[in-house]
Amino acid sequence: MKTKWLASVILLGITMLMNPIKAQEEQKPSHLTVGGYGEAFYTRNFYSDAVHRYSHPETYKDAQGHGRVDLPHVVVNLGYDFGKGWSMGTEIEFEHGGTESAIEMEAEEAGEFEQEIERGGEVALEQFWIQKSFGKALNLRMGHLVVPVGQTNKAHTPTEFFTCYRPEGELTILPCTWHETGISLWGRLGKWRYEAMVIPSLNSNMFNNSTWVKGGSASPYEFKVSNNFAGVARVDYYANDQLHFGISGFVGNTFNNDLVTLTSDKYKNVKGLLLIGTAEFDYRGHGFVTRGNFDYGHLDEAAVISTYNKNQDHMTFSPYPHTQVGERAMAAGFEAAFDVFHPFGSMAEQKLYLFGRYDYYDSYIPAASTLTDYTWTDRHVMTFGLNYFPIKQVVVKAEFAKRFLKAEYNDEPMFSIGVAYSGFFIKSNTKQL
């Protein structure tokens, strides 16, 4: 008995000594943030992806389609709070599994070494910024930043939308996720949040008929040409914890924003002014979630830019699309979902959303003087599916979607299923503004 009593006293003493140390460790602030998100999907397309399916739709009317597996995005976020208002953030993204290449020796070709591409994809540094916070209402962020034009660029993690892939309209006509090197001024004032940015403008040489100005943020070089700069603005209003409204816009000249600056009389006054405006809302409450967006853009001198781009066909190894670009483009979308577990309080931590989404978009609305009209760019998309959240950070998605094109083309049905996550592994507990 004495031995047991003595052991109990010693154990109690050790516990009392350790608890203050443990409490101090728990109170010590962490400055590091580590997080990310990722997606893995299987899709079955019940239509042909052949390049001539719109120019010769009758040939592909009974196409069998194909299945595909994909890792659309796998992202790692790293952030650190240095203190005194200074912080940094980074985001490294692997799209479609990244890139893979290898050197192999081919025995049947006299032992020659050959370089082979084993997987297509991209690895990109989508964010790298330093921030100085002067207060909740004023923050200055400098570096490589996400451009928050449109609903998807503002909320692009897979737990922030219901479809397996990012909403199709915005994903088609705008860069997504749009990231540029620039300067951002942002802050919160009560229920309002604002952001103003200066970034390099888009490059009109990279515009085309199927994705409008989406490709204009890309660069075939190791750097981004910045002859022209653009302004971005965004304002968000948070009415309460359930309802949010937002508007955003872009303005910038896009012509002559490449290595070669045209000085001939034919092009000296061409600016290619691009204007983009977006509006959105989202509501969450009583088991319901609804979201909607509308995007509209106008490109000045689209006919001149189209002619110039098409005339670059003679350039060997040219990285440009060489197609016409629309004077205007638009996208609109709406989705609604209901959590069937909501009426059952005992399952509050799990969620099972049944959702439907409608998208309309047109990536090529030509100028009046343009004779060619690619009517296959005018599309309606209906999507129905489910999202199951066993926990907040993990979601299993399944959906059936169908694109409806003009009568002379074949509609495009597809089925997708997969899993995604989004969350933090380590989260800074220092005071955040």
Q: What would the mean pLDDT of 306-321 be, rounded to a whole number?
A: 74
Mean pLDDT in residue range 248-269: 90
Q: Which of 380, 388, 386, 389 is nearest to 399 (CA)?
A: 386
pLDDT of 23 > 50? The answer is: no
* Residue count (the chain): 433
* Of 361, 401, 403, the residue nearest 378 (C-alpha): 361
Q: How far is CA 341 from the centre of its chain?
A: 29
Contact status, residue 409 vs residue 376, Cβ threshold 8 Å: yes
- At residue 287, what are phi and psi to the nearest 5 degrees? 85, -5
Distances (CA, A) of 48 to 60, 62, 65, 167, 298: 6, 9, 5, 21, 31
Per-residue confidence band for 432, with pLDDT thresholds at 50, 70 and 90: very low
How many angstroms separate the Cα of 197 from the Cα of each of 144, 185, 201, 202, 227?
11, 6, 11, 14, 17
Exposure string of 26-53, with b = 16+ CB inside 10 Å and e = fewer, is eeeeeeebebbbbbbbebebbbbeeeeb
What integer pLDDT is reported at residue 262 of this predicted model?
82
- Buried residues in 347-375 as b, exposed as e (16+ CB within 10 A): eeeebbbebebebbbbbbbbbeebeeebe
The answer on pLDDT for 254 being more than 90 is yes
CA–CA gap between residue 20 and residue 44 (Å, rounded): 58
Range 282-307 average pLDDT: 96
Looking at the DSSP bridge assignments, the partners of residue 367 are: none
Mean pLDDT of 349-378: 92
* Least confident interval from 8-17, 192-201, 234-243: 8-17
Q: Share the mean pLDDT of the chain.
A: 88
CB of 380 closer than 8 Å to CB of 403: yes
Q: Is the pLDDT of residue 312 over 70?
A: yes
CB 279 within 8 A of CB 271: no
Give yes or no for residue 316 having a pLDDT over 90: no
pLDDT of residue 415: 98
Rounded to 5 degrees, what are φ and ψ at 9? -65, -45
* Structure confidence at residue 433 as a pLDDT band (50, 70, 90): very low
What's the pLDDT score for residue 221?
Answer: 84
Domains of the chain: 32-96+118-426 (2.40.160.10)
> What are φ and ψ of residue 319, in 5° steps?
-85, 5
- Tell which residue, 369, 323, 302, 310, has the closest CA to residue 210: 323
Please give the Cα distance from 280 to 292 (Å, whole number). 6
**pLDDT score, position 151:** 97
- Mean pLDDT is lowest, of 52-56, 375-379, 392-396, for 52-56
How high is the pLDDT of residue 317?
61
pLDDT value of residue 319: 74
Q: What is the pLDDT of residues 57-105, one digit of tens each?
A: 999 998 889 999 999 999 999 999 999 999 999 999 998 887 766 555 5
Mean pLDDT of the 296-312 span: 91
Summarize pLDDT for 140-162 with one digit per residue, the tens. Answer: 999 999 999 999 999 999 999 99
Using the Cα atoms of residue 302, residue 304, residue 308 and residue 310 in order, give the sign of their dihedral: positive
Of 12-21, 126-135, 324-333, least confident by mean pLDDT is 12-21
Question: What value does the mean pLDDT take over residues 210-222?
Answer: 91
- For residue 363, the model assigns a pLDDT of 97
Q: Indicate the SS3 state at residue 83.
A: strand
- 3-class secondary-structure state, position 49: coil
- Average pLDDT on 224-240 reads 96
pLDDT on residue 428? 82
Partnered with residue 133 across adjacent β-strands are 139
Q: Does the pLDDT at position 30 exceed 70?
A: yes
How confident is the model over 326-346, as a mean pLDDT?
93
pLDDT tens by residue, 382-391: 999 999 999 9
Residue 108 pLDDT greater than 60, yes or no: no
Q: Give this prediction's pTM.
A: 0.88
The percent of residues above 90 in pLDDT, for the chain, comes to 69
- The pLDDT value recorded for residue 5 is 52
Residue 28's pLDDT band (boundaries 50, 70, 90)?
A: low
